[in-house]
């Protein structure tokens, strides 16, 4: 599990640890880890030209002490001071090791620029002198390695309302921060290298599943399993206008852990489903979960059936596409909605661009307000539940942005719910597997939704 903590949580853990350690120990740990990461990034140290952008505070101190370590190993290290309150101990150590103070004119010839401008306590945006230095690095294609976070992003939300650093690598300490996992800030971090400095941290409000976590959550049948105990999913998807949505959602569902799928829909669509998947049962019956809405609109939904399904409190429901707008806003619990930013925009009356800029915020807002789980699709999928907890999945390939991809996800998620995985965790597992299948399917280039669904069994086999 990758865990991302808030600034307040990190500050409290740092204070508690510093009270028990000799002065400067924490900065020494951070600087050592940063120096090693920089050496690995450069693939050499001796003769490398390193420019440090130094603001005030401990973030700049970490960069200066790391620079001193590189200078002692033969690097040419130059500190550009963007504040008259640079960390004096770090500056003294750098100069004693052979480093020097320079100007922004040293940036064009550098092998790497180290962003030690502001740390996790900074606000979004950059001061003009810092922005000029960062812009100069970009103009000369000098890669930037960020210390803890890319300066200028909003740490606790992942938002980027102001100009900020775009890093080729971010080296962070103690734990991931929310901006490392949530777009648009996550895209500005590059790969994130975590240095353990010994923090004792509480439960993280934002997490990202790894393969071991998905493996632990996935419902694997045993010798006593039958098709009913493995889970039966009821699927209402597709219409005469979009019959393919039913076939695609069915394919996604059957690639999950369920034991049986019941399809409800127009006769012609049901026939298309049966032609592709003769194992599907057409008609109502006992189910452990529902998936509703793919390929439908509020006008083509059977509202009586939809309301009956979504207003009961015992059986979990995935609501996708056209079902989202039709969902009773008073419906509480046992529901997962799977909007993309445009559908969430229509649901709450907020411009799509605003939602894309504040993905975590709006996913949490709707989850709390509607008392359900929100799976907000996108390059970084955000899954939020009403108490504010969130999972994020940043591994999706851009090739997943293809017609029907969301239908695969809805079917797979319904299958996991039918298999007994709780709503919040099921949404996170579905997002992970869907993204992994997209990556596998895209190995040879562009993909279709059916190729993504076809890759799910192999992804699951590799996982388990």
Place domain 2-207 in its CATH homologous superfamily: YjeF N-terminal domain (3.40.50.10260)
- Supply the DSSP string of 302-364, one letter for each residue: -HHHHHHHHH-SSS-EEE-THHHHHS-TT--SSEEE---HHHHHHHHT--HHHHHHTHHHHHH
DSSP secondary structure code for residue 404 in this structure: T
Judge whether 245 is annotated as a binding position. Answer: yes
Report whether 66 contacts 36 (CB < 8 A).
no
Q: What does pLDDT average to over the chain?
A: 95
CA–CA gap between residue 41 and residue 310 (Å, rounded)? 52
CA–CA gap between residue 42 and residue 49 (Å, rounded)? 10
Judge whether 60 is annotated as a binding position. Answer: yes
Judge whether 308 is annotated as a binding position. Answer: no
- Predicted confidence at residue 145, as pLDDT, reads 98
- Predicted confidence at residue 34, as pLDDT, reads 98
Helix or strand holding residue 65 (H, E): helix 58-72
Judge whether 48 is annotated as a binding position. Answer: no
Judge whether 295 is annotated as a binding position. Answer: yes
Q: For residue 198, what are its two tokens?
A: 């010994």
Report whether 179 contacts 161 (CB < 8 A).
no
Q: For residue 72, what are its two tokens?
A: 């002692």
**Nearest CA-CA partner of 291 in 442, 413, 421, 123:** 413
Judge whether 174 is annotated as a binding position. Answer: no
**Cα–Cα distance list, 205 to 181, 208, 360, 422 (Å):** 12, 10, 11, 18
Report whether 421 contacts 217 (CB < 8 A).
yes
**Section 23-46 average pLDDT:** 96
Q: For residue 73, what are its two tokens?
A: 């190993």
Judge whether 154 is annotated as a binding position. Answer: no
Place domain 211-463 in its CATH homologous superfamily: Ribokinase (3.40.1190.20)
Judge whether 420 is annotated as a binding position. Answer: no
**Section 210-239 average pLDDT:** 95
CA–CA gap between residue 245 and residue 185 (Å, rounded)? 33
Res 332 pLDDT > 60? no
Judge whether 341 is annotated as a binding position. Answer: no
Judge whether 146 is annotated as a binding position. Answer: no
Judge whether 115 is annotated as a binding position. Answer: yes
Contacts of residue 381, Cβ cutoff 8 Å, sequence gap at least 6: 375, 392, 393, 396, 431, 435
Judge whether 40 is annotated as a binding position. Answer: no
CA–CA gap between residue 2 and residue 108 (Å, rounded)? 36
pLDDT band at 7 (very low <50, low <70, confident <90, very high): very high
Judge whether 61 is annotated as a binding position. Answer: yes
- Predicted confidence at residue 115, as pLDDT, reads 98
What letters, b where the CB count within 10 A reaches 16 and e where it falls short, cover 105-136? ebbeebbbbbbbbbbbebebbbbebbbebbeb
Domain ranges of the chain: 2-207, 211-463
**Cα–Cα distance list, 165 to 186, 247, 255, 274, 277 (Å):** 11, 44, 41, 53, 50
CA–CA gap between residue 361 and residue 388 (Å, rounded)? 9
Res 53 pLDDT > 60? yes
**Section 280-303 average pLDDT:** 93
Res 333 pLDDT > 80? no
Judge whether 297 is annotated as a binding position. Answer: no
On the question of a cis peptide bond just before residue 184, with omega within 30 degrees of 0, the verdict is yes
CA–CA gap between residue 452 and residue 459 (Å, rounded)? 10
Residue 291: CA count within 13 A, CB half-sphere: 38
**Section 318-329 average pLDDT:** 88
Res 187 pLDDT > 70? yes
Q: What angle do CA 358, 365, 327 make, to 5 degrees?
A: 115
Judge whether 419 is annotated as a binding position. Answer: no
Judge whether 4 is annotated as a binding position. Answer: no
- Predicted confidence at residue 222, as pLDDT, reads 92
- Predicted confidence at residue 252, as pLDDT, reads 98
CA–CA gap between residue 440 and residue 458 (Å, rounded)? 9
More confident residue, 325 or 81: 81
Question: Around Cβ 244, how many Cβ atoms within 10 Å?
Answer: 19
pLDDT digits (tens, 9 = 90+) for 396-449: 888 898 999 999 999 999 999 999 999 999 999 999 999 999 999 999 889 999
Report the share of the chain in percent with pLDDT over 90: 91
CA–CA gap between residue 99 and residue 225 (Å, rounded)? 67
Res 288 pLDDT > 60? yes
Judge whether 377 is annotated as a binding position. Answer: yes
Report whether 380 contacts 186 (CB < 8 A).
yes
- Predicted confidence at residue 444, as pLDDT, reads 85
Res 386 pLDDT > 70? yes
Judge whether 58 is annotated as a binding position. Answer: yes
- pTM tops 0.85: yes
CA–CA gap between residue 434 and residue 430 (Å, rounded)? 6
More confident residue, 156 or 444: 156
Judge whether 148 is annotated as a binding position. Answer: yes
CA–CA gap between residue 289 and residue 284 (Å, rounded)? 12
pLDDT band at 310 (very low <50, low <70, confident <90, very high): confident
pLDDT digits (tens, 9 = 90+) for 95-129: 999 999 999 999 999 999 999 999 999 999 999 99
- Predicted confidence at residue 314, as pLDDT, reads 84
């Amino acid at each position: 599990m990758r865990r991302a903590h808030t600034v307040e949580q990190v500050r409290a853990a740092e204070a508690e640890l510093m009270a028990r350690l000799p002065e400067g120990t924490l900065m020494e740990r951070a600087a050592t880890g940063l120096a090693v990461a920089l050496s690995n990034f450069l693939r050499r140290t001796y003769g490398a030209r390193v420019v440090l952008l130094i603001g005030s505070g401990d973030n700049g101190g970490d960069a200066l002490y790391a620079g001193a370590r590189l200078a002692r190993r033969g690097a040419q290290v130059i500190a550009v001071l963007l504040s008259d309150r640079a960390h004096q101990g770090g500056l003294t150590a750098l100069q004693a090791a052979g480093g020097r103070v320079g100007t922004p004119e040293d940036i064009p010839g550098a092998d790497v620029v180290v962003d030690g401008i502001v740390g996790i306590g900074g606000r979004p945006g950059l001061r003009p002198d810092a922005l000029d230095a960062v812009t100069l690095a970009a103009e000369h294609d000098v890669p930037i390695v960020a210390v803890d976070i890319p300066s200028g992003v909003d740490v606790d939300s992942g938002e980027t309302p102001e100009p900020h650093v775009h890093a080729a690598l971010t080296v962070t300490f103690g734990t991931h921060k929310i901006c490392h996992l949530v777009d648009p800030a996550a895209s500005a971090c590059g790969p994130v290298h975590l240095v353990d400095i010994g923090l004792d941290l509480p439960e993280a409000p934002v997490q990202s599943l790894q393969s071991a976590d998905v493996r632990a959550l996935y419902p694997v049948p045993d010798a006593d399993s039958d098709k009913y105990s493995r889970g039966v999913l009821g699927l209402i998807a597709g219409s005469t206008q979009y019959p393919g949505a039913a076939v695609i959602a069915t394919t996604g569902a059957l690639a999950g852990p369920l034991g049986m799928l019941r399809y409800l829909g127009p006769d012609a669509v049901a026939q298309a489903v049966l032609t592709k998947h003769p194992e599907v049962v057409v008609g109502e019956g006992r189910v452990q979960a529902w998936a509703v809405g793919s390929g439908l609109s509020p006008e083509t939904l059977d509202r009586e059936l939809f309301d009956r399904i979504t207003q009961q409190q015992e059986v979990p429901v995935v609501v996708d596409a056209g079902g989202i707008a039709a969902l009773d806003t008073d419906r509480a619990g046992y529901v997962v909605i799977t909007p993309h930013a445009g559908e969430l925009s229509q649901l709450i009356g907020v411009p799509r661009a605003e939602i894309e800029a504040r993905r975590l915020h709006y996913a949490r807002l709707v989850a709390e307000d509607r008392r359900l789980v929100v799976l907000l699709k996108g390059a970084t999928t955000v899954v939020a539940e009403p108490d504010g907890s969130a999972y994020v999945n940043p591994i999706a390939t851009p090739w997943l942005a293809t017609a029907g991809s969301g239908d695969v996800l809805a079917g797979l998620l319904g299958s996991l719910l039918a298999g007994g995985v709780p709503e919040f965790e099921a949404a996170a597992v579905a997002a992970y597997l869907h993204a992994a299948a997209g990556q596998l399917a895209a190995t040879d280039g562009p993909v279709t939704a059916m190729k993504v669904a076809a890759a799910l069994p192999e992804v699951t086999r590799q996982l388990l």
